Structure 1
């Protein structure tokens, strides 16, 4: 399971080997995108991690699980937010766990950050108990989300907090009018990405449809909802080079995942956006921005 910190179909955590056909995700290849997304949105995730410290006593948190940690960017933010805790990066891709471990070492957190290779849902019990369990955009890559929540709730120590990052607002990076093609390209790409996401969900083993009422789902496990907040990452135009690079990577990924669904004129417009020699491409535009909102749902064990 892996963080993908994006929007449906554009890169949103997954168990390696559980997808197939056009919904398959190569998380090792995705690692640079995952890292850049989490780094660029660092203030958002640091703010969310700090908020968790108002819901549980920071000094009492001894073990934190980051379920679907990917390359460990957010694992390190959690370790910084809970300085007395062991923080465990849990993922199904060894290459990403290696990156997570190296990142923690480079930030002086190696003594408190460990990694655990786990294939979910089979290996929930191997993760052990924790005071805080963070699962960001990973749950929707498991077929039976309700059963997964019940398993996570069962790992919480008394008074512990389960944290889900699911939903929010679709990222926006482009103006509606690009100067070529039909206006509203990004909205149409989002719609195609939503179709991709639905097919990905349907292809999962044991897939069960659930209403995305995360508060109700958390309460159904016996936990007590402890609050929901959305956190914003707002990077106005003109974006710095690292954000531009990330946006190009995201649109390249989108082009691959929705290629067969694109209308001919939208394919032409997207190719123009991705052409580094085009003066109005993503590589050169001065009107690129990034506006992202992530919604964090929490529930406490009595």
Structure 2
């Protein structure tokens, strides 16, 4: 059964955001994802001893690192990111949650550096492959960091966040769908400009198998925060809309731009900070594969 998250106060890293941002109500699925990974890695009475080292590649400010450290109490977790600011935040987050000494940080920017991070029983990565040109090469690099019998877990795409009704009483109905389409077009343009950009069919089980791993299943986690939203989630959506307006530029027509500006008006009852009909719905899919042990 697909788990649905309605808990309040979920937080995590907003994809593509700068280090200073409102946190995304997105990471509530991580505890269940980590528990699911425990089951993939072996019997409950042995997994604590067998999993000694975990890599969180593209860690952001360390939300996943903390969830993995809690789920695998016998393991050290290495948070890996290209942003020194995010890594500093990960250290602070670990200290706040009583995990100092369990979580270390490493800086890495290129896929060819992932395989030099040292062997691990579990390699987790969230929303990293899409931002690097050759996604297949990224997976091969991640696979080179896992020990025989270990698992690579890749969280990529899923369903884009939805937070507005079709008709919001301003502008033209269907604003959310047009924002999604504009973001997808912008992302496709950006991917085409990445160094070494290579087009692949994003069949993650196939890509993991092509990296020399044996697929062990995928699972989708649904995050569902119905209206009315908590203020923290509204603030996140306000930040998200502000970023969309800046990033999409002339991809939006004048009517849609004006509608987004109205949604950003913090004093208007029709703004996202006050609307009673705003909600938050998205899904994250985690794909896994194992490096088979070699026969003696």
The two structures have a TM-score, normalised by structure 1, of: 0.88
Gaps of 5+ in 1: 13-24
Q: Could you tell me which residue of structure 1 aligns to residue 68 of structure 2? A: 78
The match for 2:264 among 274, 280, 287 is: 274
- Mapped partners of 1:32, 1:83: distance in 2: 30
The match for 1:150 among 135, 140, 162 is: 140
Q: CA deviation at 1:244?
A: 0.8
RMSD: 1.6
The match for 1:62 among 36, 44, 52 is: 52
Once the two structures are superposed, the pairs formed by residues 17-28 of structure 1 within 5 Å of their partners are: none
Q: Is the CA contact 1:214–1:297 (under 8 Å) kept in the aligned structure 2?
A: yes
Cα deviation 1:203-228 (Å, max 9, x = unaligned): 11111001110000001112110010
Q: Is the CA contact 1:132–1:161 (under 8 Å) kept in the aligned structure 2?
A: yes
Q: Could you tell me which residue of structure 2 aligns to residue 261 of structure 1? A: 251
Once the two structures are superposed, the pairs formed by residues 1-302 of structure 1 within 5 Å of their partners are: 12=15, 29-33=18-22, 36-37=23-24, 40-57=25-42, 58-59=47-48, 60-302=50-292
- Tell me, what secondary structure is at the counterpart of 1:191? helix
Q: Is the CA contact 2:269–2:275 (under 8 Å) kept in the aligned structure 1?
A: yes
1:63–1:31 Cα change, 3 Å = farther
- How many residue pairs are counted as aligned between the two chains? 277
- Mapped partners of 2:40, 2:99: distance in 1: 23
Give 1 or 2 for the bigger CA radius of gyration.
2
Point out 4+ residue stretches in structure 1 off by more than 6 angstroms: none
Gaps of 5+ in 2: 1-11
1:122–1:157 Cα change, 3 Å = closer
The two structures have a TM-score, normalised by structure 2, of: 0.90
- Mapped partners of 1:180, 1:141: distance in 2: 34
Q: Is the CA contact 2:19–2:86 (under 8 Å) kept in the aligned structure 1?
A: no
Q: Is the CA contact 2:115–2:144 (under 8 Å) kept in the aligned structure 1?
A: no
Q: CA deviation at 1:30?
A: 4.2
